[in-house]
Amino acid sequence: EAQVTQNPRYLITVTGKKLTVTCSQNMNHEYMSWYRQDPGLGLRQIYYSMNVEVTDKGDVPEGYKVSRKEKRNFPLILESPSPNQTSLYFCASSFGTSGSFSSYNEQFFGPGTRLTVL
C-alpha cells in the first residue's frame, strides 16, 4: 500500500530533551516536506527536500533540523525542544521536480505526530 508513515504518533517530552520524528514514504517520491498544524493557523511548512541531500527552509524552520540521506526517509529533529513547539506535525511527499510546473501535483500526507513539550 502506497503510504507515508510517521513515528511516533504521540509524544510527550520535556524541554531540552532531543527528539526525532521519523517519516518514511514507499512511493519513490523525490519531494518531501514537514508541516506543523496549529489551531487557526492551518499548515505551516517547516522544511522541505527536493531530493536526497537537498533540503531547504520553509516558513517556520527555527528550532528544527532535517536530513535526507535516503530518498524514502526524512526525519525531523528537535535538538532542544521548547513548549512553543507543542503542535501536530505532518510529513508529506509528492513526485518532485521531474514534472513541469503545469503538472497536477498531489501531496500525500502521513497520519500526523502529536507532540507535547512540557
Partner 1 sequence: GEDVEQSLFLSVREGDSSVINCTYTDSSSTYLYWYKQEPGAGLQLLTYIFSNMDMKQDQRLTVLLNKKDKHLSLRIADTQTGDSAIYFCAENPYSHGQNFVFGPGTRLSVLP
Contact 85, 117 (CB under 8 A): yes
Of residues 14 and 41, the one with the C-beta less far from partner 1: 41
Residue 95 Cβ, how far from partner 1 at the closest point, in Å?
9
Enumerate residues 6+ apart whose C-beta is below 8 A from 81. 13, 14, 15, 16, 17, 18, 19, 63, 115, 117
DSSP-based three-state secondary structure for 85: helix
Single out the segment in contact with partner 1 by CB under 8 A; choices: 20-28, 65-73, 76-84, 104-112: 104-112
Q: How far is the CB of 33 from partner 1 (least distance, A)?
A: 7
With a CB cutoff of 8 Å and minimum separation 6, the contacts of 62 are none
How long a stretch of residues is the chain?
A: 118
106: nearest Cα among 116, 98, 95: 95
Grid cell locating 11: 509524544
**How near is the Cβ of 22 to partner 1 at its closest, in Å?**
15
**Interface with partner 1 by CB under 8 A: which range of 11-19, 65-73, 79-87, 101-109?**
101-109
The interface region with partner 1, picked from 17-25, 41-49, 64-72, 78-86 by CB under 8 A, is: 41-49
Choice from 50, 67, 73, 116 touching partner 1 (CB under 8 A): 50
Tell me which of 28, 94, 117, 118 binds partner 1, using CB under 8 A: 94
